[in-house]
Structures are given as structure tokens and as C-alpha cells.
Amino acid sequence: MTMTKILGPLLTDNIDDTKYVRLIAPFRFVSDVLYREGLANDVTMPAGFVMDFESVPLIRGTSKRAGAAHDYLCRSDSDPVVSKAVAAQVYLEIMAYRDGLLEDGLLGKLDRWWRRRLKYAVVRVAPGYFHKHKVSATYEELAGLI
């Protein structure tokens, strides 16, 4: 059995004055959800990958790492290629993993729990851009400029 892990830092660079960032080094994570689905569960996102972390602006305070993993898995040629439901489950899984590393009281845990659940519900039902772009998509493609 595997265990959910984030392997290394998430290093990004802002793209001008936009909401988008670019990975400046590969980002790697291991997912129990992917393992249970029978998929490759050790995922490396390539340097140069462009994303916006989390597109749910009203709910702050969860994990940029989870947003990065979700953005990657929503691309049409991610490795592995997953369904929208699986991408959302991995998003929830990594938020829970990161929140579990934080030390604070019961109120902090409850606050993060409802934020995770609400964000998960949004990515599950929102139409978004699932499988509309490739991993190599540029900022201009994601922003609809070309």
C-alpha cells in the first residue's frame, strides 16, 4: 500500500501581473487515490507547467500543492490520464494531507475541514476546463488570448 506524500517543494514563478504561475522545477507527489484506481500513483509535474493553483476565489486557506496537482490532472495528456472525479478526489486527498501536517487546535482543524469539503464540491460540479488543454499549454492558451 502506498501513502500520500508531497516529495519536494513547489517552486513557481509568477507570469507578469496575471493569476498564472509557471513551475520552475518539477513537482512530485504520490497519491493513494491514484493507487486505488490502479493508476500510476507517483506523479511528476514537469518544469514549465503553467497553472493558476486554485480557481475558487472566495475560499482561501488550503493547499497550493493540491491546486497544482488538480490543475495537472485536469489536462488532457496528464500522466496518468484521469477522470474529472478522480482529479477532484486527488485534490481533496492532498488538501487533507497538507492540513494534517499543521499543528493547531480543534477549531483550526474544523475550519480547514469545511474549506476542503467546500472546495472539493466546487471542483466536482463546476464545468471548468477539464481536458481542454494539454500539459504543455502556455499562459496565452489558458487565458484564451490565442
Q: Does residue 119 sit within a domain?
A: yes
Instruction: Tell me what the pLDDT averaged over the chain comes to.
Output: 88
Q: Does residue 139 sit within a domain?
A: no
pLDDT value at 1 more than 60: no
Question: For residue 21, what pLDDT is reported?
Answer: 93
Q: Does residue 53 sit within a domain?
A: yes
Number of domains forming the structure of the chain? 1
Q: Does residue 136 sit within a domain?
A: no
Q: Where are the beta strands (DSSP E) in the chain?
A: 5-7, 12-14, 21-23, 27-30, 42-45, 50-51
Q: Does residue 138 sit within a domain?
A: no
Q: Is pLDDT larger for residue 100 or for residue 142? A: 142
Residue type, 23: L
Question: For residue 19, what pLDDT is reported?
Answer: 84
pLDDT tens-digit readout, 8-57: 999 999 998 888 999 999 999 999 999 999 999 999 999 999 998 877 65
Q: Does residue 146 sit within a domain?
A: no
List the domain range (segments joined by +) for residue 51.
5-130
Q: What global pTM score does this model have?
A: 0.88
Q: Does residue 121 sit within a domain?
A: yes
